[in-house]
Structures are given as structure tokens and as C-alpha cells.
Amino acid sequence: MARIASGDPLPATVEAAKTADAGDCFIGEASTVCCLPGLVNVGVQKAGTGELQTWLGVHPAVKVHGGEVHFFDDQERTPSCNAQWRGHLRLRYARFLWKRQRLREADVRGRLLFEKTPAYFDRAQPRQVACAIPAARVLIMLREPAARAHSAYDMCQREQEGRWCKAPFAQVVERVLVGGGGNSSDAAPLHTSRRQMQRSPHLRRLFLMGHYSTFMRRWLDVFVWPHVGVLWLEQFKADPFACMHAVERFAGLAHHPYRTVATRNEAGLYVVGRSKSDYERKRAPSPWAAGDTRAVVSATAALEAAMVRVRAYYAPSQRRLAQLLQKTNTSLLPELPSPVTGLL
Ligand SMILES: Nc1ncnc2c1ncn2[C@@H]1O[C@H](COP(=O)(O)OS(=O)(=O)O)[C@@H](OP(=O)(O)O)[C@H]1O
């Protein structure tokens, strides 16, 4: 059972923070409260972490942060996790987490505190997170890695318009993934072009993040395995109710009747209130918008071929992940989704 913020808050001092853990709260000046989360969703980007936060936000026994925290992103390596350091780290983290919200005891008493930062999966040092909140439940949401990479690239094109994502995804794949013959059945393994990866840290992250087993091992090295739970966006798409039930069991929460509050949106997905899935797919890429049929057909074919290539690139790594999930028993649902099992 994850720690629920039900006890009396500790004084907001380093001394008190030395003995705190996930789910504990600190009371500071003017009775303001800040807490350490009991449940942290550490990733991955584009695997439905925003949606999960929305669903947990309507659970009466959960207090969600509401945004993304990024406290542990790219922090410097710390020499050791001694008591003094732990005390400081916990206080800084709890204060940072709630700096934009004036929490009162009544907001948190008896509730599970939740934060999500998908960037933690590959950008945080799990050892540091474990130093701050060793008893926390760590939720890892994954998504078939080729679809994840495409979705992340698409988001960059739509929202960030960065230089690194100007070219169509299919062109980038052609440039970055080398070896093989473009066919998943080719014997030669695909790997990333060192030169292309050195040129763009964004592309490097886009492709490397999908080697889930590499990053997962780092989390499993420092958190006890029953405290780490894995869920797939594909599972959430297929049955969000089973997923929410599994998350509740994982976090020690009472069952909430999500079926009574969820509706289906235009995309046919279950949502509670506003969802990214309501509007993300409505924005069309340029050839579609221009209505140029030939361009659409050729862009679709190029994208499909690129996706085959990306899936082939990730196949060995997906096999390693399957073994890791089996060994550690960290899947929250017993059945792996078909786009994932297809690769294993
Ligand atoms: N209710 C529901 N059911 C199934 N799938 C859903 C739902 N809500 C959001 N989504 C899809 O989740 C994808 C976004 O994931 P994230 O919220 O983790 O994105 S982000 O990293 O925070 O930007 C994004 O996927 P893509 O549209 O394929 O990019 C969303 O469409």
C-alpha cells in the first residue's frame, strides 16, 4: 500500500525531513502544507500519462499535482544518499512540487499524492528519486516504441516547430536508422547513425528513449520490484477501467466507479472530462490539409514503410523488455497488448 498523507504533517525542517518518506507532508509558515508524493508516474512521454493524471484527478482519495514537475530532470549526480542530503532533498522536492498551489491540511488528509513527469523515465537518476521517496510506488506507462517515437515527433511538428523536426518523419527515419534493408525480415540489425545522433540531441532522445528495458533496469535497481508497475497506453485504449482498477490496487486505493463518470469521445476513446485525445488527432498534417490526393498516398506509404523500419529497429530491445517484465512481474495487467506482443 502506498503511503497516504493521513498522518499529522511534520515540521518543515531538514531534521524532520530526514525521517520522512513518500506520502508524508510538511507544515510550514502560515499553516501551508507541502507533501511528498506516494505515487509517481515517471513516463514515458506520449504514453498517456496526461490522461492517467486526469482520471486519477477525479478519484476522491487522490490529490494530483495537475501539471508536470520536472524536479529530478538532469540533476547532477550526488555522491551518496546520507541523512543530511535526504532531508534537504525531500524538503526541496516537496516545496518545489506544490509551489504554485497553496495546500491546506484538509486538501491532503487521507489522500494519495500524485505527480507525473514523463521525462523522469530517461532524464532522472532513479537513485536520486529513491533517495527522496524510497517507499513510493513508481508507475511506468509505456507505448509500442515506434508509435511513441512517431507521436513525439508529431507533437514537435505541431507544437514546438523546432528545427530538428522540420523534415517528414519518414525522411528522418531513413537518415537516422542505418543497416538492414528497410525490411523487418532482413537479417542485418538496424542501428542509429552515430553522426545523425551527434548532430541532434533531440533525435537522440527520441530514438533512445524507446529502448525501455535499458531505462527500466535503472529504476528496478533502486526500487523494490513490487513498488514498480508497468502499464501500456495500448491497454488503456482497450480497457481504461481495467487499467484504473489495476492502478488502484497497485497504489492501495479504494475502487472508484469510473464507468459512471467516463464518456466516449469522437475518437471512440473513453475520457473523463477534457482529454488530449479530443483535439490532438483533429490537427491534420499539411498534405491532408491541402487535399492533394497523390501527396497523401505517397506520404502515407512513406510513413508506413518508415514505421516498419522503426519497429524492426526496436524489436531486439522489445524482446529484452518482455524478459524483464516476466522476470520482475511488474506488469499491472497480465495480458500484454497485441502491438507489443506482436514484437516479442
Ligand atoms: N482517453 C484516452 N484513451 C486513449 N489514449 C488517449 C486518451 N487520452 C489521450 N490519449 C493519448 O495519449 C497520448 C498522449 O500521451 P501523454 O499524455 O503521455 O503525452 S505527453 O507526453 O504528456 O505529451 C496521445 O496519443 P497520440 O494522439 O497518438 O499522440 C493521446 O491521444
3 state DSSP class of 134: coil
Condensed to tens digits (0 to 9), the pLDDT of residues 129-168 reads 999 999 999 999 999 999 999 999 999 999 877 789 999 9
Please tell me which residue in 46, 63, 116, 237 is annotated as part of the active site: 46
- Closest of 287, 149, 276, 142 to residue 207, by C-alpha: 149
Cα–Cα separations (whole angstroms), residue 242 to 150, 256, 269, 278, 322: 26, 12, 14, 21, 21
Is 46 one of the annotated active-site residues of the chain? Answer: yes
pLDDT of residue 291: 67
272: DSSP letter: S
> Average of pLDDT values for 210-237?
97
Residue whose Cα lies nearest atom 19 of ligand 1: it is 46
Q: Is there a domain that residue 198 lies in?
A: yes
Tell me the CA–centroid distance for residue 134 and ligand 1, in Å.
29
Query: What's the ipTM?
Result: 0.98
Tell me the CA–centroid distance for residue 277 and ligand 1, in Å.
6
Cβ atoms of 12 and 27 closer than 8 Å: yes
With pLDDT > 70 as the criterion, what percentage of the chain qualifies?
92
Residue whose Cα lies nearest atom 4 of ligand 1: it is 237
Condensed to tens digits (0 to 9), the pLDDT of residues 261-311 reads 999 999 999 999 888 777 665 554 555 555 678 888 888 999 999 999 999
- What pLDDT band is residue 186 in, cutting at 50, 70 and 90? low
Ligand 1 pocket test, candidate residues 41, 46, 237, 270, most atoms within 8 A of CB? 46
Q: Is there a domain that residue 4 lies in?
A: no
Q: Has 258 been labeled as part of a binding site? A: no
Q: Is there a domain that residue 229 lies in?
A: yes
- Closest of 71, 17, 64, 57 to residue 37, by C-alpha: 64
Q: Is there a domain that residue 5 lies in?
A: no
pLDDT of residue 284: 47
Residue whose Cα lies nearest atom 29 of ligand 1: it is 151
3 state DSSP class of 164: helix
> Average of pLDDT values for 49-57?
98
What distance in Å separates the CA atoms of residue 178 and residue 54, rounded to the nearest whole number? 39
Least confidently predicted of 24-33, 200-209, 283-292? 283-292
Q: Is there a domain that residue 204 lies in?
A: yes
Q: Has 193 been labeled as part of a binding site? A: no
pLDDT of residue 160: 76
Tell me the CA–centroid distance for residue 275 and ligand 1, in Å.
8
Residues in the chain: 344
Can you list the positions of beta strands (E) in the chain? 10-11, 25-27, 33-35, 39-43, 62-64, 112-116, 137-142, 177-178, 191-192, 228-232, 263-264, 270-271
Cβ atoms of 142 and 302 closer than 8 Å: no
What distance in Å separates the CA atoms of residue 116 and residue 40, rounded to the nearest whole number? 6
Q: Is 281 in the pocket of ligand 1 (CB under 6 A)?
A: yes
Q: Strand 39-43 vs strand 112-116: parallel, antiparallel, or unpaired?
A: parallel
pLDDT of residue 344: 45
Q: Is there a domain that residue 173 lies in?
A: yes
Residue 250, pLDDT above cutoff 80: yes
Q: Is there a domain that residue 2 lies in?
A: no
Residue 181, pLDDT above cutoff 60: no
Q: How high does pLDDT run on average in the chain?
A: 91
Q: Is there a domain that residue 3 lies in?
A: no
Range of the domain at 130: 10-341
Domain count for the chain, please give it.
Answer: 1
The enclosing domain of 36 has a CATH number of 3.40.50.300
Q: Is 118 in the pocket of ligand 1 (CB under 6 A)?
A: yes
What distance in Å separates the CA atoms of residue 308 and residue 146, rounded to the nearest whole number? 9
Axis-axis angle for helices 240-251, 49-57 (nearest 10): 70
Q: Has 93 been labeled as part of a binding site? A: no
